[in-house]
Amino acid sequence: MQYGMTLSPKMTWNMGAVLKNLELRGSTMGSRKEFADMVQFAREKKVKPVISRVVSGIDDLEQLETLWQDMKAGRQFGKLCVEISKETGPSKL
């Protein structure tokens, strides 16, 4: 996998990937205004993501590993989430 172009607009693509016939597809994240518009739309329309499963905390490595296993096996339908701490108020984003 290749994420973003945080270092430069050039991304390396090695011969191993070519020999495996891998595909690379790009997408953009959009502007800050587009993100704000999307958040506002989700609030107004009360859009909620489908959540497949939530693991609480980051200390239980075995539980965290089960999320990866679900993803690798394609068992989830929706988001696989890690709850860092209980929500105490509205999001700061």
Domain extents in the chain: 48-85
Which tokens sit at 15?
């011969």
pTM of the model: 0.48
Cα distance between residue 80 and residue 84, in whole Å: 13
Q: What is the pLDDT of residues 26-81, one digit of tens each?
A: 666 778 888 889 889 999 999 888 899 999 988 889 999 999 999 899 888 888 99
